[in-house]
Amino acid sequence: MWAHTLVAPGRFESTEASTYTEADVREGEVLLRALVGGVCGSDLPTFRGRAHHHPDDAGGWASNVAGVPLHEIVGEVVFSRDSALSVGDRVVGWASRFDGISELVISHGSGLAPYDPSLTPAEAITIQPLACVLGAVERLDLHPGVAVTVLGQGPIGLLFSHVLNQAGAVVTGVDRIDRSEAAETFGVTNTVTTTADRWAGAVTDAERPEIVVEAVGHQIGTLEDSLAAVAFGGQVYYFGVPDDPIYPISMRAMFRKNLVLLSGATLDRRRLLLVANDYLLAHDALRREYVSHVFPVDRVQEAFEAAIEPRPGQYKIALDMVG
């Protein structure tokens, strides 16, 4: 089968990999033919060369492991050992081995769900990150008019802005890239174009949000900025996979301000994927505009390079695996 392999930090090559057979599929798993993949911010550290613990990579960094790094997948079931999914089903969710840049993918069925057939595969890829965001927002203490700042207005931050706005929050979006053109579509009331530390240093007591969502990731400083800026008694949600095992934080701020810090992986995945499917169907502008760039898979190098260099008008980047 074809695959694209990260042969060195920042460099993909087209390769031929061993084709999966039915014997490779364990109980609870399915074999998918990949249709579309989504480039996630959590894939980018591996692209740059950080460790990625793939089950077939004893060395700890996923060099020369076909298809890595990509876990957001839309595919067609070609063989199933999951009683809820059948051959021919088109599904969206997690490529659980993070090797989605390949013709065939084996994944846990519990992290996949069918999507509405009115959605194209490129539209349906939105469902996976949206499910993660919806699961996170379920854990927040929301009320009508609650002031929320979303640090980072990349693909995940924009989804947080949209979902929080629909839940009745007043959303401020902070990003070093000018995202004013996205404000109406994604429900951002106040757009601030600056870095997280500058925003946190300038916010007044009257402006402090009740909730801060840290949707930047890949650094420790933005978590500290969130704790410094949030209001007394507030919540900070650190979203995404931490790049480092230990993050030093200000326990003085946590203690003196009576703060709550939340984080965590997405659980109950199939339920949340189905909820996200319905949410996407109910919001046509999100369906049309969230995936801003679709690259054919043979341009995967260009797609990942674009993802690490965000710019105005660029939101979610997807890979077309068949076109």
Residue 184 has pLDDT above 70, yes or no: yes
Average pLDDT for 239-266: 94
Residue with tokens 């301000």: 257
- Confidence grade of residue 243 (pLDDT, cut at 50, 70, 90): confident
Contact 44, 34 (CB under 8 A): no
pLDDT of residue 323: 75
Q: Say which range, 46-50, 125-129, 164-168, has the weakest mean pLDDT.
A: 46-50
Average pLDDT for 251-275: 97
pLDDT of residue 229: 98
pLDDT tens, residue by residue, 47-94:
998 766 555 444 454 557 899 999 999 999 999 999 999 999 999 999
Residue 260 has pLDDT above 60, yes or no: yes
Q: Per-residue DSSP letters for 264-283?
A: ----SHHHHHHHHHHHHHH-
The DSSP element (H or E) to which 303 belongs, if any, is: helix 300-307
Question: Rounded CA gap, 281 and 119, in Å?
Answer: 8
Nearest CA to 316 out of 133, 129, 189 is that of 129
pTM value is 0.96
Domains, the chain: 2-126+290-320 (3.90.180.10), 131-262 (3.40.50.720)
Question: Mean pLDDT in the chain?
Answer: 95
Residue 283 has pLDDT above 70, yes or no: yes
Residue 258 has pLDDT above 80, yes or no: yes
Q: Per-residue DSSP letters for 217-247?
A: -S-SHHHHHHHHHSPTT-EEEE-S--SSS--
pLDDT of residue 55: 52
pLDDT of residue 37: 98
Question: Rounded CA gap, 154 and 202, in Å?
Answer: 22
pLDDT of residue 58: 45
Residue 171 has pLDDT above 80, yes or no: yes
Give the chain's largest Cα–Cα span: 62
Beta bridge partners, 2, equal 16
The DSSP element (H or E) to which 50 belongs, if any, is: none
Give me the percent of the chain exceeding a pLDDT of 70.
96
Q: Which residue has the higher pLDDT, 205 or 243?
A: 205
Q: Say which range, 9-23, 56-70, 142-156, 304-318, has the weakest mean pLDDT.
A: 56-70
pLDDT tens, residue by residue, 185-241:
999 999 999 999 999 999 999 999 999 999 999 889 999 999 999 999 999 999 998
In degrees, rounded to 5, the angle at the alpha carbon of residue 300 between the alpha carbons of residues 298 and 302 is: 110
Average pLDDT for 235-249: 92
